[in-house]
Structure 1
Amino acid sequence: MQFGVGMIRRRFLQSLLVCAGAGKVLTACSPPTEPLRFGANAWPGYAPLRLAEASGLISPERLRVLDFPNSSMVLSAFRNGTIDAAGLTLDEALALAASRQPLRIVLVFDVSDGADVIVARPGISALDQLEGCRVGVETEALGAYLIGRALERVSLPLHSVEIVSMPLDRHESAFASGQVDALVTFEPVRSRLLEAGASELFSSREIPGEIVDVLVVREDVLRTRRADLQAAVSAHFEARLALLADPAAAAERLGARLSLDEVALRAALGLIQLPGPEENRRLLGGADAGLAQVLVTMSSRMKSLGLLEGELVLKGMLVADLVEAV
């Protein structure tokens, strides 16, 4: 069969109309969008989203989970646009917001119930003994908030200890070599240091509901990539059920990404709460959203500790739409 020039031209114009959707954006014929880039450290509370990716519960065209050695690098990557979304604690999210980063909180990954701790070398058994000691802290991340809250309990100001800025991936070596007298750290480092003889002085269990890990996204990403974010949130909840039902399979599948074997993963899960969709809706949604007051109280405490500067707009930061749709 032969085609004349006129027929070819008509077929070409028809194909343009199909792609354009009679004047709409050329969505179907555009190059595929890059996957959402989510970044997080090795905290076990982020295991469900990593498991969702590893198990194929979400398409790799929609989401890519990037592993970072510490929270400071996650914060930096969010600021410079290397990632679109991040797993962060509430205090880290507030610090970002105060630095004029337009962000939204769309999911609660977990609530720490003893997994975040202050540990000390043998011979230091109480918080008031930390006065004048060297304390290793990931200063831009949760560590600074936790040490501040702990010292408040014994009426010590933050400047009563020598803060040694230290990323998570150096915690164990610094503790073993005597570079610090104490550390603000979390699972899985917590368990390994306790096995090595460290003593636990303080944990997130003593400030219930304050150490919360959330999914933070850029405001423009929420607006333009809502379908991909919805898929990620739904996959998280599906993988959460799989993780709780069979931690052994999850530990085997995730392998070195979490630095946790089955025993360690089970222990870590015993120290955190993983809220399901209903609890997420309670925490994020409505006028009486559970996290709304936490944000107000936490921002006030961070300012008093010198951890937060600048104007902070909390209204609209919590977004429940995605968890409500699950």
Structure 2
Amino acid sequence: MRVGTNVWPGYEPLYLAREQGFYNHHIKLVELPSASDVIDALRMGHLEGGALTLDEVLSLIQEGQDLVVVLVFNISAGADMLMAHPDIQTLSDLRGKTIALETTAVGALMLKNAMDFAGLPDGSLRIRHMNLSDQLRAYQSGKIDAMITYEPFSSELARAGARILFDSSAIKGQIVDVLAVRRTVLEKQPQHVRELIDGYMQARQLMQTSPQAAFAIMNQRLRLPDEQVGAMFDGLELPDTEENRRLLNGKRSPLSRTAEGLAQLMVKQKLMPAPPPLKQLTDPRFLPESS
């Protein structure tokens, strides 16, 4: 069972589980340079599952990939943010300014909610789509006034003087990272899916009971300054087994309802042509009995 990930704090417990020997040789974690590479590998049939944001799962389902969400890795509760030049004091001050964001549903969701909070109508900002890695240079050269971003890019922007005006703690529950697996794999390899999730939950528990030891093991792979390892998880909620069961349980589970709203936004923002069929999007059967 091959599971693709890119580098993101919420996925790190998978690698901690691997380092702790919680996985046998049937489970292979495949680290790829970006989420786009994970998506492409799923499209080409090179992976049985992938760690993705919910909007990415919806896009793949809309294309015809039959994926099921079996685990919620994390919920953004401040990790995604809108930052702006210090002269811009409030969200309302963004009127007529230029804001940079990625061409993703997460970027669209953050922008829509920030504008709603400020009472700004559509068309009141100039929008530029760009990669997060290009935002700092654009900000320093005065080409953009604000951006939607996250770590590690937000720390670089803060050092350049940008301030946080809005973050995902205001819309908690809407930006979610999940484990999506092919429906056929659930039927053919259920024991491997259970082992994958069980190992993840054991690693998550280790992070709570022995954080310094867990972070030290993680950093053998990440090679970050020691103080940055724990800080990676600031603004993220990692649901335990019981919360996962609540989010994934039922024909119209809480996560399915979130997905329905997200799909409508993605259609409105022209990120997909039509809402995908979301019959049996989530399945809690592979979660451990308890946390």
If the length of structure 1 is used for normalisation, what is the TM-score? 0.78
Partner of 1:224: 188
Contact 1:137–1:167, Cα closer than 8 Å, also in 2: yes
CA shift, 1:322, in A, is 0.8
Partner of 1:193: 157
Contact 1:175–1:182, Cα closer than 8 Å, also in 2: yes
AA matched with 2:242: E
Q: Distance in 1 between matches of 2:82 and 2:26?
A: 40
Partner of 1:139: 103
The answer to whether 1:264 aligns with 2:228 is yes
Contact 1:44–1:258, Cα closer than 8 Å, also in 2: no
Long gaps (5+) in structure 2: none
* Percent identity for Structure 1 against Structure 2: 35
AA matched with 1:44: P
Contact 2:101–2:130, Cα closer than 8 Å, also in 1: yes
Partner of 2:17: 52
CA shift, 1:135, in A, is 2.6
Partner of 1:65: 30
Residue in structure 2 matching 1:211, options 161, 175, 198: 175
Q: Distance in 2 between matches of 1:65 and 1:93?
A: 18
CA shift, 1:87, in A, is 1.7
CA shift, 1:94, in A, is 1.9
The answer to whether 1:310 aligns with 2:268 is no
Q: Secondary structure at the match of 1:143?
A: helix
Whose Rg is larger?
1
Q: Secondary structure at the match of 2:16?
A: helix
Change (3 A) 1:319 1:100: same
The answer to whether 1:102 aligns with 2:66 is yes
CA shift, 1:105, in A, is 0.5
Residue in structure 2 matching 1:239, options 190, 193, 203: 203
After superposition, the CA RMSD in angstroms is 2.7
Partner of 1:165: 129
Q: Distance in 2 between matches of 1:141 and 1:60?
A: 35
Change (3 A) 1:259 1:215: farther
The answer to whether 1:38 aligns with 2:8 is no
Q: Distance in 2 between matches of 1:144 and 1:325?
A: 37
AA matched with 2:22: L
Contact 1:39–1:83, Cα closer than 8 Å, also in 2: no
Contact 1:85–1:217, Cα closer than 8 Å, also in 2: yes
Partner of 1:115: 79
Change (3 A) 1:214 1:199: same
AA matched with 1:241: Q
Moved more, 198-207 or 134-143: 134-143
